[in-house]
Amino acid sequence: MAENNLSAIVKNGEIQPSTASQLSLSKKETEKASGSTLGKDAFLQLLVAQMKYQDPLEPTENTEYISQLATFSQLEEMQNMTAGMSLQRASGLVGKEVVLRVTNASTGAMEYAQGIVDYVVYENNKAFLSIDESLYSIDDVYQIMDEQYSEAYSLARKFVSALGSLPSTKELTLEYEEAIKTLSDTFNSMNSYQKSFIGKEAQELLQQYVGRIKELKEAASNQA
């Protein structure tokens, strides 16, 4: 999966809107501000307004206020619990490789980024993951990469890159014998799962290199 250069920076306690992560968050905050949810501050303001403007001839019963205050306390407790669970979940991702999915507010397109979580930042009851010196909301996490998968993928990528840096078999000389031996030993030391990440063409090319080196060594031996 291709990596995108996405970033989100916290400044003065706020996530800057120019970043991809904030583009995703801004939509959620807009929905909240539009009245899709009732925050605890708004709930408290409504309760105070109700007490202030109640009909003096028919005042609200104390039991009703107690019930509403209990509801407020439950709401606050639920929010604190949710925030704590979010931080706990984010902390558990430190050192792991994740795939993030964010919405570009300008185009509406879904964009992806991938990297290892370095540390967690907690701002305004929200957890943010630091990846390659950029911050992403915990809500942007799309997939948590399996450690075994990440290691196998990284090994395969380095292996194919090293193999591709060699000259063609026709231009091969004994100077590359050690490099090809290292690649061959590396491949042979891989388990079946890791080998499954090496394409068939790459495996066949490795065998061609090994065979060509063997030919060159035999030719050099005959000349001696």
Using CA atoms, how far apart are residues 86 and 131, in angstroms rounded to an integer?
Answer: 17
Give the pLDDT of residue 13.
45
Residue 121 phi, psi dihedral angles, 5° rounding: -115, 135
**Alpha-helical regions (H) of 20-176:** 20-31, 40-52, 62-91, 147-164
- Residue burial 143-155, b: 16+ Cβ < 10 Å; e: rest: eebeeeeeebbeb
CA separation, residue 185 to residues 145, 174, 189 (Å): 27, 17, 6
Average pLDDT estimate for 84-97: 72
* Residue-wise pLDDT tens digits, 33-42: 444 445 556 6
Average pLDDT estimate for 211-221: 91
Q: To the nearest whole percent, how much of the chain has pLDDT over 70?
A: 61
- Residue burial 170-193, b: 16+ Cβ < 10 Å; e: rest: eebeeebbeebeebeeebeebeee
Residue 19 phi, psi dihedral angles, 5° rounding: -100, 160
More confident residue, 31 or 108: 108
Among 128-137, 158-167, 194-203, which is the least confidently predicted range? 128-137
Q: What is the DSSP letter of 175?
A: G
* Residue-wise pLDDT tens digits, 99-146: 888 777 788 888 888 888 888 888 777 888 888 888 888 888 887 877
- Tokens 């950029």, located at residue: 134
